[in-house]
């Protein structure tokens, strides 16, 4: 009975959110991607490259605004959070999951260690670091004058607190990843055996923290977690003030969060908008703007909003590029996005007890030839060219071309070739036995795949239909899960829960800036939604972040092998890479989307009128 009631309640809640979302229009793919584990997502050696430049041939966008006027004193700026769903509002790096939340956090929260253009940590931010000779220990020293918004200084133990939360046995989020687990003593702490993490030491004066890792890996320079959590403000889980669950639901994270970034949260209208005010004691200096309003704008209305000048900054969904090009009070900025879209094949289940992925050898799509065939059957080139005017282009491997030193362009990946797809299916024994135009599986049973896809943007529906049609052309019967597209949140809820109604799904990843794919495809990664595992995969992923991998050549070789393995095994078929397009009103100054530059940081942004 209780279960029934719960189900009813759950469905009601779900529906309510879906309803609201649907009222306001459709989601865009760009917001429709999940942020991966933060611990892993910062760059590594030589991440920028010429490949990215090549790919943009023909499409030439600036990375910074051309307006060079002086920003006015006390300006106000409105930034659009382009999404058709309300933002979740879990405003803490340890707990959040959606990209809109991450965007909100950039204004009031920061990493202690700032990143440069190659996504490597630097000493320019709120803290400085040194790495020991054996590459196993990193010492982070917080600079003077770095204060939380309530005036308290940022302490080393606040950073320790983040680690304590991430590794806590009760932590249910997805950021307990390799870089966190690799901290000495973390596994014991995670298992609940001790109350302290032996590898992390905080100095007497609360200014310095040293983190020692079990294994030296190149990920330290890119993936070290350096976002502190204000222990004094949100309450101490370690002392038993509250539980993790209470903390995650607490108003101090959702309604009035604090950070030490350039702007402080003045008011949050849940799901709709956030008003930021200048934080005068920001450690770098006085931020340029008096206030910033961040509001959710529906992708379908974004063009009008930008045109009217209602918003100063906005990401533009690729399907509206042509319309954005015509507006003359804005400038379009773009770079190759750290993201790709893909088709995922459900191959197993998530084992909650062991917290690892378990591949089911009897899964519908267990035969990799069928998966390869489905990749061959998809005509991504047409989609990219015709629908996105070249703003998206066919994807090849799972390491995006932005990581020039690791992306292996020489691997031959499936491209549109229905004949080849048919041949592969024949080889796998999938033949049309009953003559209905669709193939049956190897043992002659009916073979129907349920395809889950997100609603969003003008093109979501035709794209889903297009793929279904592509697969039908080679004889695979695919139908939409529940006969319709799903809204962003419910889509990922279903995918995450390994809903049996989903055999394949179309998703998108923000890859983060570390090429290490462990967080997305590892055996213990909750984000590995396809639940694909294999020994070879484990081995390669481990080698990619081992001590030997400080040698770029070695790492490159490992990742090439990994990319090849992924093309061979196809747990996911990447479909398109994309450009991230952003519109800035001409009155915006000191704004850039190039990582590592000064104007990339929110405190410099200003307006000239």
Partner 1 sequence: MKDTVIVDEKQLIAKEKANNPSLLRTIWREITHDKMALGSLIILIIILLSAYLSPLYIDQEAQHRVNFLNVWKAPSAEHWLGTDDGGRDVFGQLMLGTRNSFTIGFMVTLIAGLLGLTYGLIAGFYGGKIDNIMMRILDFLMVLPSTMFIIVFVVIVPNYTVVTFVLIMSAFAWFGKARLIRSRALQERELDYINASRTLGTPSLKIMFFEMFPNLSSLVIVNMTLTLAGNIGVETGLTFLGFGLPSGTPSLGTLISFARTPDIVQNKWWVWLPAALLILVMMLCINYIGQAVKRASDARQRLA
CA distances from 336 to 63, 305, 306, 534 (A): 11, 24, 22, 31
Q: How far is the CB of 319 from partner 1 (least distance, A)?
A: 9
Say how far apart CA 368 and CA 135 lie, in whole Å. Answer: 40
Taking the least distance from each CB to partner 1, the nearer of 66 and 469 is 469
Q: How far is the CB of 4 from partner 1 (least distance, A)?
A: 12
Q: How far is the CB of 160 from partner 1 (least distance, A)?
A: 44
Contact stretch for partner 1 (CB under 8 A) within 259-267, 296-304, 426-434, 522-530: 296-304
Size of interface with partner 1, in residues (CB under 8 A): 34
Contact stretch for partner 1 (CB under 8 A) within 63-71, 106-114, 229-237, 299-307: 299-307
Among 23, 57, 133, 535, binds partner 1 (CB under 8 A): 23
Contact stretch for partner 1 (CB under 8 A) within 238-246, 260-268, 483-491, 586-594: 483-491
Does 601 interact with partner 1 (rule: CB under 8 A)? no
Q: How far is the CB of 7 from partner 1 (least distance, A)?
A: 9
Q: How far is the CB of 500 from partner 1 (least distance, A)?
A: 11
The tokens of 481 are what? 């899960």
Q: Is 258 exposed, middle or buried (0-12, 13-18, 19+ CB in 10 A)?
A: buried
Is residue 204 a contact partner of residue 191, using CB atoms and an 8 Å limit? no
Q: How far is the CB of 575 from partner 1 (least distance, A)?
A: 14
Q: What is the largest CA-CA distance in the chain?
A: 78
Among 6, 9, 11, 193, binds partner 1 (CB under 8 A): 11
Taking the least distance from each CB to partner 1, the nearer of 338 and 474 is 474
Does 162 interact with partner 1 (rule: CB under 8 A)? no
Nearest to 223 by CA among 593, 510, 509, 515: 515
Does 531 interact with partner 1 (rule: CB under 8 A)? no
Write the DSSP assignment of 351-370 as a string of letters. ETTTTEEEE-TT-TT--HHH
Q: How far is the CB of 139 from partner 1 (least distance, A)?
A: 52
User: In sequence order, which residues have a C-beta less than 8 Å from that of residue 161 and are 6 or more positions away?
Assistant: 228, 229, 231, 236, 238
Write down the residue that tokens 């790492």 correspond to: 555
Q: Could you give the count of Cα atoms lying within 13 Å of 490 in the half-sphere of its Cβ?
A: 23
Contact stretch for partner 1 (CB under 8 A) within 34-42, 73-81, 260-268, 475-483: 475-483
Write the DSSP assignment of 18-44 as a string of letters. HHHHHHT----TTTS-B---GGG-S--
Does 493 interact with partner 1 (rule: CB under 8 A)? no
Contact stretch for partner 1 (CB under 8 A) within 139-147, 207-215, 454-462, 548-556: 454-462
Among 58, 361, 435, 483, binds partner 1 (CB under 8 A): 483
Does 480 interact with partner 1 (rule: CB under 8 A)? yes
Say how far apart CA 434 and CA 445 lie, in whole Å. Answer: 10
Does 482 interact with partner 1 (rule: CB under 8 A)? yes
Fill in the DSSP letter of residue 114. Answer: P
Taking the least distance from each CB to partner 1, the nearer of 288 and 330 is 330
Is residue 183 a contact partner of residue 200, using CB atoms and an 8 Å limit? yes
Does 465 interact with partner 1 (rule: CB under 8 A)? yes
Nearest to 224 by CA among 107, 97, 114, 355: 114
Say how far apart CA 248 and CA 264 lie, in whole Å. Answer: 20
Does 82 interact with partner 1 (rule: CB under 8 A)? no
User: In sequence order, which residues have a C-beta less than 8 Å from that of residue 334 and are 6 or more positions away?
Assistant: 56, 59, 61, 391, 579, 580, 581, 582, 593
Does 6 interact with partner 1 (rule: CB under 8 A)? no
DSSP-H helix ranges across 145-263: 156-167, 178-181, 186-190, 220-223, 231-234, 244-249, 251-254
Angle between helices 368-377 and 418-427 (to 10 degrees): 160
Contact stretch for partner 1 (CB under 8 A) within 102-110, 298-306, 352-360, 597-605: 298-306
Q: How far is the CB of 426 from partner 1 (least distance, A)?
A: 24
Does 19 interact with partner 1 (rule: CB under 8 A)? yes
DSSP-H helix ranges across 428-579: 460-473, 488-496, 518-521, 535-544, 552-569
Q: How far is the CB of 467 from partner 1 (least distance, A)?
A: 9
Contact stretch for partner 1 (CB under 8 A) within 20-28, 38-46, 101-109, 289-297: 20-28
Is residue 185 a contact partner of residue 120, using CB atoms and an 8 Å limit? no
Does 323 interact with partner 1 (rule: CB under 8 A)? yes
Among 466, 499, 548, 557, binds partner 1 (CB under 8 A): 466
Among 241, 272, 304, 434, binds partner 1 (CB under 8 A): 304
Say how far apart CA 326 and CA 332 lie, in whole Å. Answer: 10
Contact stretch for partner 1 (CB under 8 A) within 13-21, 38-46, 141-149, 236-244: 13-21
The tokens of 567 are what? 């093309």
Positions 335 through 394 that interact with partner 1 (CB under 8 A): 382-383, 386-387
Does 310 interact with partner 1 (rule: CB under 8 A)? no
Fill in the DSSP letter of residue 72. Answer: P
Q: How far is the CB of 559 from partner 1 (least distance, A)?
A: 33
Does 300 interact with partner 1 (rule: CB under 8 A)? yes
Does 469 interact with partner 1 (rule: CB under 8 A)? yes
Nearest to 140 by CA among 218, 220, 219: 220
Contact stretch for partner 1 (CB under 8 A) within 269-277, 286-294, 297-305, 594-602: 297-305
User: In sequence order, which residues have a C-beta less than 8 Å from that of residue 320 and are 6 or more positions away?
Assistant: 299, 302, 303, 458
Among 303, 333, 395, 495, binds partner 1 (CB under 8 A): 303
Q: What is the sign of the dihedral through the CA atoms of 148, 255, 268 and 175? A: positive
Run of H or E including 424:
helix 418-427
Q: How far is the CB of 487 from partner 1 (least distance, A)?
A: 8
Contact stretch for partner 1 (CB under 8 A) within 133-141, 335-343, 402-410, 464-472: 464-472
Is residue 438 a contact partner of residue 475, using CB atoms and an 8 Å limit? yes
Does 308 interact with partner 1 (rule: CB under 8 A)? no
Does 296 interact with partner 1 (rule: CB under 8 A)? no
Does 9 interact with partner 1 (rule: CB under 8 A)? no
3-state class (DSSP) for residue 419: helix
Taking the least distance from each CB to partner 1, the nearer of 7 and 249 is 7
Binding site for partner 1 (CB under 8 A): 11-12, 14-15, 18-19, 22-23, 25-26, 300-301, 303-304, 320, 323, 382-383, 386-387, 455, 458-459, 461-462, 464-466, 469, 480, 482-485
């Amino acid at each position: 009975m209780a279960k029934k009631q719960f189900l009813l309640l759950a469905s009601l809640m779900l529906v309510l959110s879906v309803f609201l979302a649907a009222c306001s229009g459709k989601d865009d793919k760009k917001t429709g991607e999940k942020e991966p584990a933060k611990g892993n997502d910062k760059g590594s050696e030589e991440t920028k490259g010429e490949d990215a430049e090549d790919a943009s041939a023909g499409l030439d966008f600036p990375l910074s605004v051309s307006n060079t006027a002086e920003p006015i004193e006390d300006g106000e700026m409105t930034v659009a959070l382009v999404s058709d769903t309300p933002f979740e509002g879990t405003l803490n790096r340890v707990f959040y999951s959606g990209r809109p939340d991450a965007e909100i956090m950039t204004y009031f929260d920061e990493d202690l260690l700032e990143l440069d253009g190659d996504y490597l940590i630097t000493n320019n931010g709120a803290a400085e670091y040194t790495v020991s000779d054996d590459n196993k220990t990193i010492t982070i020293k917080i600079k003077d004058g770095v204060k939380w918004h309530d005036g308290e200084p940022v302490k080393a133990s606040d950073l320790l607190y983040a680690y304590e939360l991430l590794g806590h046995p009760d932590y249910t989020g997805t950021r307990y990843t390799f870089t966190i687990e690799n901290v000495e003593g973390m596994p014991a702490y995670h298992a609940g055996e001790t109350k302290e993490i032996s590898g992390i030491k905080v100095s007497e004066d609360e200014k310095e923290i040293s983190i020692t890792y079990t294994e030296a890996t190149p990920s330290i320079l890119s993936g070290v977690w350096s976002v502190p959590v204000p222990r004094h403000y949100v309450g101490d889980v370690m002392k038993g003030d509250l539980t993790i669950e209470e903390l995650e639901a607490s108003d101090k994270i959702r309604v009035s969060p604090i950070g030490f970034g350039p702007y402080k949260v003045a008011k949050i209208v849940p799901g709709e908008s956030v008003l930021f005010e200048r934080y005068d004691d920001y450690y770098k200096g006085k931020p340029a703007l008096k206030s910033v309003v961040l509001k959710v704008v529906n992708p379908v209305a974004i063009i009008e909003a930008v045109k009217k000048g209602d918003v100063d900054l906005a990401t533009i969904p690729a399907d509206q590029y042509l319309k954005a090009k015509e507006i003359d009070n804005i400038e379009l900025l773009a770079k190759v996005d750290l993201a790709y879209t893909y088709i995922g094949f459900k191959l197993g289940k998530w084992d909650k007890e062991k917290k690892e992925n378990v591949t089911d050898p009897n899964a519908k799509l267990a035969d990799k030839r069928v998966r390869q065939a489905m990749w061959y059957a998809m005509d991504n080139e047409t989609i990219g060219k015709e629908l996105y005017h070249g703003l998206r282009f066919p994807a090849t491997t799972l390491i995006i071309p932005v990581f020039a030193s690791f992306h292996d362009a020489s691997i031959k990946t499936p491209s549109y070739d229905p004949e080849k797809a048919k041949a592969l299916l024949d080889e796998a024994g999938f033949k049309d036995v009953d003559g209905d135009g669709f193939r049956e599986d190897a043992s002659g049973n009916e073979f129907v795949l349920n395809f889950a896809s997100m609603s969003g943007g003008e093109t979501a529906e035709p794209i889903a239909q297009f793929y279904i049609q592509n697969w039908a052309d080679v004889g695979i019967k695919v139908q939409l899960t529940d006969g319709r597209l799903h809204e962003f949140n419910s889509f990922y809820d279903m995918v995450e829960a390994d809903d049996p109604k989903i055999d394949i799904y179309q998703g998108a990843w923000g890859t983060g800036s570390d090429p290490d794919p462990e967080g997305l495809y590892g055996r213990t990664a909750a984000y590995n939604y396809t639940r694909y595992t294999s020994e070879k995969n484990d081995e390669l992923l481990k080698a990619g972040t081992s001590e030997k991998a400080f040698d770029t050549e070695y790492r490159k070789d490992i990742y090439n092998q990994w990319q090849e393995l992924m093309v061979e095994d196809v747990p996911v078929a990447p479909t398109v890479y994309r450009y991230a397009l952003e519109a800035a009103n001409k009155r915006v100054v000191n704004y850039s989307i190039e990582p590592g530059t000064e104007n990339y940081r929110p405190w410099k942004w200003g307006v000239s009128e």
